[in-house]
Amino acid sequence: MEQLELLRRQCEGCQRCPLGESRTNLVFGDGNPKAEIMLIGEGPGEQEDLTGIPFVGPAGKLLDQMLEIIDLDREKYYIANIVKCRPPRNRDPQAAEQDACIGYLREQTRLIQPKIIVCLGRIAAMRLIRNDYRITREHGQWVKKGNIWMTAIYHPSALLRDESKRPETFDDLLSIRDKIREVCG
């Protein structure tokens, strides 16, 4: 069996943290596992928990529309979250929950071997780029970690709450488009 599918099955039985008990479905990941771009959010919301697919609720719909601007769809990227089970009432995933889950994301990343990772929001950026990452100041900037170019943009839920952040995110999307042209095949 394909390695990513084996990992998914391993995650399906996971009870490493209490979110394993309250989930309806595991939200493992979606998109093209051969893609050179990975997008990482924080954790599933209600619609994701019900369907088992990341970013299908209101934030996901906005994300799809934003990515369409730079001609990206789920055939061209792979999308997952820092935690694979829904935190109750959509609260931020706690450090212990992130710690319990992050090994799965690391293994997913090792199997997919992306050239670019885009963190969606503060939680993913703090976990994957730097633990004191400041999204308001640093969104759209690029850092290279090993062979992977990394950046962060505002979480689409933040853009739903505060439309004034959208022009900055538009600039960040153009920068992502340029980086894809620069480093992807």
Select the residue interacting with ligand URA from 29, 37, 81, 105 (CB under 6 A).
81
Q: Across the chain, where does the E strand assignment appear?
A: 30-31, 37-41, 78-81, 116-120, 143-145, 148-153
Does 97 bind ligand URA (CB under 6 A)? Our answer is: no
Does 114 bind ligand URA (CB under 6 A)? Our answer is: no
Does 93 bind ligand URA (CB under 6 A)? Our answer is: no
Does 108 bind ligand URA (CB under 6 A)? Our answer is: no
What burial class does residue 180 get, using C-beta atoms within 10 Å of its C-beta: 0-12 exposed, 13-18 middle, 19+ buried?
buried
- Which of 5-13, 16-24, 48-56, 110-118 is the region at the interface with ligand URA (rule: CB under 6 A)? 48-56
H-assigned helices in 26-151 = 46-51, 58-69, 95-112, 122-128, 135-138
Select the residue interacting with ligand URA from 20, 29, 44, 87 (CB under 6 A).
44
Q: Which residues bind ligand URA (CB under 6 A)?
A: 27, 41-45, 48, 54-55, 57, 59-60, 81
